Copies of this chain bind each other. A is one copy, B any other.
Amino acid sequence: MHSFFNPQSIAVIGATPKTFKGGYAILKNLKTTFKGRIYPINPQYAEIEGLPCFPSIKDIPEAVDLAIIFIAAVHVPAALEQCAIKGVSGIMIESGGFAEADEKGKSLQDAIRSFVERTGIRVWGPNCMGLVDGIRGHIFSFTDPKVLPFCLHPGPVSLIVQSGMLSAGFVIDILSHGITGFSKVCSIGNKADIDESDVLSFLLEDPDTRCVGLYLESFVNGRRFMDLCRKSDKPVIVLKGGRSRKGAEAAVSHTASLAGNYRVAAGALAQAGAYEARDFHQLVDFCRTLALYPPKRNKSRGRIAVITFSGAAGIVSTDFMNELDLDVAELSEATKIRLGRIFPEWMPVANPVDIWPAIEQHSGTGLDIYSLAMEAALDDPGVDAVLVHAFSGYTRIRLDFDKISRQSRSSGKPVLLWLPGNRDDAFQVQIKARDCGVLVFHELYRAVSCLSILFQRTGTCWLPEGNQPVPTDELQNIPDDISDLLNNAGGSLDERLSKNILKSFGIPTVEETWIKDPRLCESKAISMGFPLVMKGLQTGVVHKTEHGLVELNIVGPEEARQSFERLLQKMNGRGSVLMQKQLQGDVELIMGAIRDPQFGPCVMIGIGGRMADLIEDSVFTVAPLSVKEALDAIGRLRTQTLLDGFRGSQPADRHVLASLMVTLGHLMARYPRIQEIDINPILVSGSQAVAVDATVVLSNP
C-alpha cells in the first residue's frame, strides 16, 4: 500500500489540457500539491501544464511508483498491461463505467481482477476519487482544483469512503467550516481489488491517523474487517449506507456492491468494538471526538457536568442527556462550596451550573468565571466529562481555549463545547478551538450525542476478547442418526428432527412424544400430564400456527383425542402429531443462526412471543463466539430488562443463554451444511431455557 500513500513519482494516464475534464483536474491537483515527479500520459500532447507529456507510460525514462488512470473504461485493460510492463507498484483507476454501470462494465471490472491476480500489482478503484492526504498535502483526485487545495488542513481523522461525494464535496464542507483537518481521505470506489480492510489495515498503522471513519455500503470481507477493529486501539466509526430495506435496494442500484443485512453488520461492528454513526456530519463529529479522547478500557460512567450561561440550554441539555443515557453528575459538597464562592449569595449551586449570575456579579473584575467553573467541575471525582455552553460574538463571554485544552488534558476528562453565535465570530472560534484541540459544536444535540459516544454503554469494552476456537470435544459424541441427518438430509427439517439435532448438542428441548397410533393418544396424554400442546407436522409447513396446526391448552385425555383427530383432518391424513408439555416460561425468546454472505455464520438472540410483533429487538453476533461476546450481545438487546425479572418472576440466567448462543455458534462453524437454525420460542425461567419449537435448514444434498 506504501506506493499509494507515499509515491515518489506518479504517471497520470489520461492527462489532458482540457480544463473541464477529470484528467486535467488530477494533473492540476498533483502539480499544486505533490512534490515528487509527475508524468502526464497522452499520445495527443507533447506537453501539458508545462510538464513533458508521454505517449505511453512505457516511454517514461525513470521509474514510476504510482499510475493514476482516468480514461474511458474500455481502454483501461490495455493501459493496465502497459503499467505492468513499466513495472509500477500501484495503480489507481479513477474513471467510472465499470460494475456500477452495465454488463459491459462488469466484464471490464472482472478483467481488472484477473490482471491483479496475474501480476500481483495492487489496484485502487475503479470509479473512485482516489486519495487526499492532509498531512503531506497531496491530492490524487479529480476534485475541483480551484477549491480543495486551498482549504486542505492536516488533522487526526482519516476517512475511507465508498462515495466520491464524501471524499470531495463533503470534505470541502468540513474543511472550509473549520470543523476538523484530515490525515487521509480514501475514496475506494468499486473495490475491484483494494477494499476497505486493506486501507483500514494501513491506516491503523499510520502514525498520523488517530481515528478512522468509514462510509460503507457493503463489506468485502466482514470477518477481516472485524479482526482489524479488534486488534487496534484506534477508534473505528462506520456509517453503514442502506440500513433500511429501501436503503439497501438503493444501494444495489447505486454501485455493484451488495448492501448486506444491516442488522448483521451492526451486530458485527458492536462485537468488534467499532462505533456506528447515522449521518455524514455525525460520522465526522464522532471521529474528531474519539480522535481527541480515545476510549479507555475501563470506561467511566458518563456523569456530565453542564456549565451554561442559559437556564434553558441547561434544561434542554439535560433532556438530551436523559434520552442518550448519560447522567447529570451529582456535584460533590466540595465542588458546591467552591462554586458557591463565585455565585451570588441567593443562588444555590446545582448541575447544570448556570454561571450567568456569577458572570454578571463579577463583571469588570477580570475574574474568569468560565475557567473557575470548569476547573471546579473537572476536579470533582463524580464528574466524568464537562459540557460547556458558550456564545461567540458576545463580549462578556470569553473563553481561553489553550487553558481549556490544558485543563481537559491534565484532568484526563473530556470537555465539549456548544458554541452558537454570530457567524464570523463563530468561525474564528471554531478555527481557534480546532487548532487548540478543543471540541466545539454549533448545535447542542450534536455535542450531547458526541458525549454519548464517549460513554457508550453497549456492553462492549474497547478491546474485546478475540474469537474463540471451536472446541472439538463437546461436539464429538454425536449419535449416528444425527450425524447421518446432518451429512445427508437437505432443506428445511421438521420440528421433531430439528429439535433432535439441538438436543444432541446439549440444547434442552421441551418434553414431547410423537404419536402415530390414535389409540395411544389418551394414555400418552395422561402419562405426560396436563396442560398439553399438540401440533400437526407436515412436510414443508414451517409456520404451523398460521395453518391451524397448533392446539393449545389441552386439559384432559378426551380433549387430547379430539385435538389429534382435528389435526389429522386438517392435514388430510398426510402428517403426524407431536404432543408436548405446555410450558409457561417467564420470558419468551427467539434464538437462531444464519450464514451471512459478508460475515459468515452468525448467531442471533431476540425477544420472542407477542412482544416480537411489536418491538423488533434482536441482536446478531458473528460465530464462533465466546461467552463474553454472547453476554455482550445479550446486553445490546434494547428490552433486556425483560430478562431481569419483574413482577415477582425470577431473572433469566444470562450465562445459560450465552452458553446456548456459544453452542449454536459452534454448530454453525462445525457443520457448514447448516444454513439456518431457528428456535422460536425458547422459554426461559431462571436458569431453565427450553426450546419449544425449532427449525433447522440444511443446504440441499
Contact = CB atoms under 8 A, between A and B. Distances in A.
A350 B254 CA distance: 10
A154 to B, nearest CB: 18
Contacts of A239: 316
Contacts of A685: none
A393 interface: yes
Contacts of A146: 395
B243 A170 contact: no
Interface stretch (A264-272, A288-296, A457-465, A638-646): A638-646
A315 interface: yes
A169 B393 CA distance: 9
A543 to B, nearest CB: 10
Contacts of A279: 316, 320, 443-445
Interface string A132-165: 0000000000001011000100000000011111
A490 B622 CA distance: 60
Interface in A100-158: 101-102, 104-105, 144, 146-147, 151
B312 A163 contact: yes
Contact of A244 (B178, B318, B423, B642): B318
Contact of A316 (B247, B314, B427, B613): B247
Interface in A616-641: 639, 641
A1 B596 CA distance: 66
Interface string A298-328: 0000000000011111111011111100001
Contacts of A254: 311-312, 314-315, 354
Nearest to A21: B363
Contact of A173 (B321, B352, B421): B421
A253 B614 contact: no
A215 interface: yes
Contacts of A20: 363-364
B247 A310 contact: no
Interface string A207-246: 0000000010100000000000000000000010111111
A670 interface: no
Given A246-B318, A315-B217, A420-B169, A639 B610 contact: no
A348 interface: yes
A81 B176 CA distance: 56
Contact of A350 (B244, B250, B347): B250
Interface residues of A, number: 92
Given A165-B312, A346-B101, A641-B614, A394 B147 contact: yes
Interface in A320-375: 320-323, 328, 346-348, 350, 352, 354, 363-364
Contacts of A445: 278-279, 281-282
Given A101-B347, A279-B443, A426-B173, A244 B394 contact: no
A648 B173 CA distance: 53
A255 interface: yes
Contact of A250 (B318, B393, B427, B610): B318
A651 B37 CA distance: 74
Contacts of A173: 420-423, 426
A328 B614 contact: no
A286 interface: no
Given A312-B215, A423-B177, A241 B319 contact: yes
B421 A250 contact: no
A147 B395 CA distance: 10
A278 B251 CA distance: 31
Contacts of A34: none
Nearest to A255: B311
A172 B422 contact: yes
A315 to B, nearest CB: 4
A358 to B, nearest CB: 13
A40 to B, nearest CB: 21
Contact of A176 (B163, B423, B614): B423
Given A241-B312, A246-B321, A282-B445, 16 more contacts: A165-B391, A176-B421, A176-B422, A177-B423, A215-B312, A217-B315, A241-B315, A241-B319, A242-B318, A242-B319, A250-B328, A254-B354, A278-B445, A611-B614, A614-B639, A614-B641
Interface of A: 20, 101-102, 104-105, 144, 146-147, 151, 161-166, 169-170, 172-173, 176-178, 215, 217, 239, 241-247, 250-251, 253-255, 259, 278-282, 309-316, 318-323, 328, 346-348, 350, 352, 354, 363-364, 391, 393-395, 420-424, 426-427, 443-445, 545, 610-611, 613-615, 639, 641-642, 646-648
In the A-B complex, the 6 residue pairs with the smallest Cβ-Cβ separation, listed nearest first, are A163-B312, A244-B322, A165-B310, A254-B311, A176-B423, A173-B420
24 contacts: A144-B394, A164-B310, A165-B309, A169-B310, A173-B422, A173-B426, A176-B423, A176-B424, A215-B312, A217-B315, A241-B315, A241-B319, A244-B319, A244-B321, A246-B322, A250-B352, A253-B348, A254-B312, A279-B316, A279-B443, A279-B444, A280-B313, A282-B445, A613-B647
